[in-house]
Amino acid sequence: MPNSNHSAVRSSRLDSQTRLLLSVNAFFVTANALSGTYLGVYIWKASNDFAKVGWFTLFNYVIMALTFWIAGNGVKESNKMTYLRAGIFISAGFYAVVLLLGSSAQNWIYCLGMLQGLAAGLFWLSFNVVYFEMTDANNRDRFNGLAGVIGSVVGIVVPWTSGFLISRSAGGNGYRLVFAISLGVFVGGFLLSFLLRHRKTRGDYNWLLPFRYIVRRRTPWPALFGALAAQGLRESVIGVFIGLLVFVETGSEMRLGQFVLLTSAVGFVSFYVTGKWLKPSWRDKGMLVGAASLALSVIPLFFGVGFVSLLVYGILSALFMPLFVIPMTSSVFDWIGSDDESASLRVEFVVLRELALCAGRIVGMGIFIATVAATRKPAIISLLLAFVGSFPLLSWYLTRGRLRVGMEGRRSGKSPSPRLKSAK
């Protein structure tokens, strides 16, 4: 591990392996963006049932949470890169199954949801552990900013392209073509991942540690768990519902692609600026501004749920999301690496982080299913979005004063999360 003098002056630049990790992430995000934007629409068109989309997503999150916890053992005690590649491979398999099932896929939504949850759990657990090992408090905001920029660029180009292909193809041929392209991109990401070096993790996996720290006093984790759950609750409902509403209001996959293009373009600029200029000392205030703005961005929907109001909402959300999500993500990982003991338990703490997000997502999806099963009145839908959209404020409240750990580590001459050398 580097000495304190070295870590105190460590550059915020990213090395070749870290850039490669961003590339693998780009392949995974691109493949999901090609089809994921329209997967909910595909299920809804076959079933005309919002709740069915919700059940698919709920099973996804439940299995994802179980995968995080169970796979944590293999990620810590075995080769974590194997689990990352397995996540990409199973994601490709998911779209292969959807292609084989065709229009009957809606009859298998529970199994499909579980399969996608397994793939996502394996990939994101491994990815986040490797991300933690490759970065430190000096360059974590930069990495997250670049990841956001990549996601926004993908969002600008890919969903619009998918919408164009779907809208120009007869019947379900466009969906089948897009799912096939996604499968191919996943294969590309799978092959690229072999260039990532394996980093050994010492020690045995502590199965119960993630649950013990949820209630352990005198640690930040009870508050961080609540903050992450609040983040997950918002993202689950917004992530599923907004795209569906755009399609239902317009009846056009092309218009949905245009919506994602415009909001992603705004997100691209915002992520770039925030990732470049946001300093650890500004995280607290920046996150408050982001959380409050996300809560207020739902106001246009109270004047009517239509394409224009949804677009305004999407643009405002994309503009302020980086101010919320970059401090939130960076600070949690800074806490994981706040000392040598915590860093040695990084797999367990990453599992804890992911379980918190999944807990919020599961609760959020339960609220979504209950609401759309009871009513589809625009006023109730707007209230639902306003309710879940306010949860970032809870995240800020629970983490306020805890967001400067990276800066404190540098001031003390300690490295909150020393990068770990890859195995020879």
> What global pTM score does this model have?
0.88
**C-alpha gyration radius of the chain:** 21
What pLDDT was estimated at residue 12? 66
What pLDDT was estimated at residue 11? 54
pLDDT < 70 regions, the chain: 1-12, 171, 402-424
- Contacts of residue 3, Cβ cutoff 8 Å, sequence gap at least 6: none
Helix/strand/coil for 401: coil
How does DSSP classify residue 403? T
From residue 171, alpha-carbon distances to 14, 42, 45, 176 in Å are 46, 12, 12, 10
Q: Which amino acid is at 253?
A: E
CATH class assigned to 17-196+216-405: mainly alpha
Q: 198-224 pLDDT, tens per residue?
A: 777 778 999 999 999 999 888 889 999
What pLDDT was estimated at residue 198? 79
Other residues' Cβ atoms within 10 Å of the Cβ of residue 192: 16
| C-alpha–C-alpha distance, residues 368 and 54, integer Å | 7
From residue 371, alpha-carbon distances to 118, 247, 303, 376, 379 in Å are 27, 19, 20, 8, 12
- Under 8 Å between Cβ of 160 and 261: yes
Among residues 180, 141, 186, which one has the least CA distance to residue 26? 186
What pLDDT was estimated at residue 162? 92
| C-alpha–C-alpha distance, residues 221 and 399, integer Å | 10
Q: Which amino acid is at 83?
A: Y
How does DSSP classify residue 220? S
For the chain, the structural domain boundaries read 17-196+216-405
- Contacts of residue 411, Cβ cutoff 8 Å, sequence gap at least 6: none
| C-alpha–C-alpha distance, residues 384 and 362, integer Å | 16
What pLDDT was estimated at residue 62? 97
What pLDDT was estimated at residue 47? 84
From residue 200, alpha-carbon distances to 16, 130, 418 in Å are 19, 10, 14
- Under 8 Å between Cβ of 92 and 27: no
Among residues 135, 176, 160, which one has the least CA distance to residue 25? 135
What pLDDT was estimated at residue 31? 94
Q: How far, rounded to the nearest angstrom, does the alpha carbon of residue 124 sit from its chain's CA centroid?
A: 9
| Residue 202 in tokens | 């010492």
What pLDDT was estimated at residue 181? 93
**In terms of C-beta distances under 8 Å and separation of at least 24 residues, what long-range contacts does 390-394 make, across chains too?**
390/295, 391/230, 391/231, 391/233, 391/234, 391/360, 392/230, 392/231, 392/234, 392/290, 392/291, 392/294, 392/295, 392/324, 393/291, 393/292, 393/295, 394/226, 394/227, 394/230
- Under 8 Å between Cβ of 301 and 313: yes
How would you classify residue 305: left for phi > 0, otherwise alpha for psi between -120 and 50, otherwise beta? beta
Helix/strand/coil for 173: helix
